[in-house]
Amino acid sequence: MTGPAAPVVSAGEFLNSVVQALYARTRLPQGQRPERLGRLLVVESSRDAARILDEPELFAKNFALVAAFGPSRFNQNGAAWAALRPRTQRAYARAGRPVMLTEISAIYAAELAPATPDAPGIEAALARAALRIFFAAFDLRPDVTPFLAHFAALRQVVSDLQHMSWQGMGALDVDAIRARATAPLQSFTAACADQPAVMATVTRLAGLRPVIPVDAMMADFMTNMFAGIETTTASLAWMIDAMGRSAKVQDALRAEARDPSGEGALLQSFRDECLRMFSPIPFVVREVTADTRLGRHDLARRDLVLLSLVGLHRDPDSWTDPLAFHAARAEFAPGAPPNPAFRPFLSGPRVCGGRRIAEMELTAALRLLVSGFRFESPAADPAFSYALAFRPRFTSGHRVSRL
């Protein structure tokens, strides 16, 4: 696989066109790639990526209108971010312990057992499992159905907000989109209110020092939930598509998954290769807070840089045969040193807080998927969609059968 095919979307779908442009860049020699995508400087080297991610005060997050949902650890910087992060991070740290792997596997097994054996049915089961695990991190066991019901609307609003943030709009449009952004939060709050244990948890988190308003904590909790479930489910969807492309690789993964004495080296390499080729977050945007120099570029305060995970994960200086998919990639072999160009969870002070949980989920779910199902994918690389996470679009050519 060299990258996804052109998305089956209208020409005006801005975010999808950005992702497509980043994939197209990687097929050009490095000296022929434009330095900018619109007004954003594109960064694709591991050295520059490390600088951006290690210095979040100088390269601050810029989510513009996405902050219309309310404050969250994803759209705040500095002291505001520092006040929000510990409220959820403590739960993620506890849930990321190896002892949690048994519960994580049990949840995925329970959701996959009754799933309809087709791509949409499997994807829905994976989303339910990921949402249950998110709540389990906070020692909650609610009915997740009301929360899942809001995901489609939330995904569309996020896409619109990101699009308008970079494309610009008039004052009336800003007011309208901000008003629209309040609807998902109101819906989420109502779902929490119907389940007292969830509401009590959000209220408790808001009351930690320094105390913040409950509605601000609600926005942070909703964004954490949505981001975690979207990225995990999207990553597993790419794994399903990749497994369906090679019966040989799929059989080897299945043999390893069914061997209780095995180390799981191929499963881990395959997982990480999918994250490399199809990172659920294909790029991030940062705003420069003071004049500085990045590589050979002089940057002024308020300049925007686009860190391309697509390009970083295909950097020819960091990877062998970077455009090809290798299920048993040498860089991911047991004992291989960490590759500084591999950053699907980003890195630095603002590394993904749920990384350990996500890695356990992906491994556990992959074992169950390949052990219990056989997948077939169409020959052409799939179209995709991108809002908060980058995911393939399943078609009738994606076939699933139980073993």
List of long-range contacts for 105-108, beta carbons under 8 Å, 24+ apart: 105/364, 105/367, 105/368, 107/132, 107/133, 107/136, 108/361, 108/364, 108/365, 108/368
What integer best gives the mean pLDDT of the chain?
89
Pairing relation of β-strands 399-402 and 373-376?
A: antiparallel
Max Cα distance, the chain (Å):
62
Residue 24: name the closest of 39, 7, 41, 10 by CA. Answer: 7
As assigned by CATH, the class of the 14-390 domain is mainly alpha
pLDDT at 8: 41
Tell whether pTM > 0.95. Answer: no
pLDDT digits (tens, 9 = 90+) for 206-262: 999 999 999 989 989 998 999 899 999 999 999 999 999 999 999 999 999 999 877
For residue 321, pLDDT over 70 is answered with yes
Q: Would you list the domain boundaries of the chain?
A: 14-390
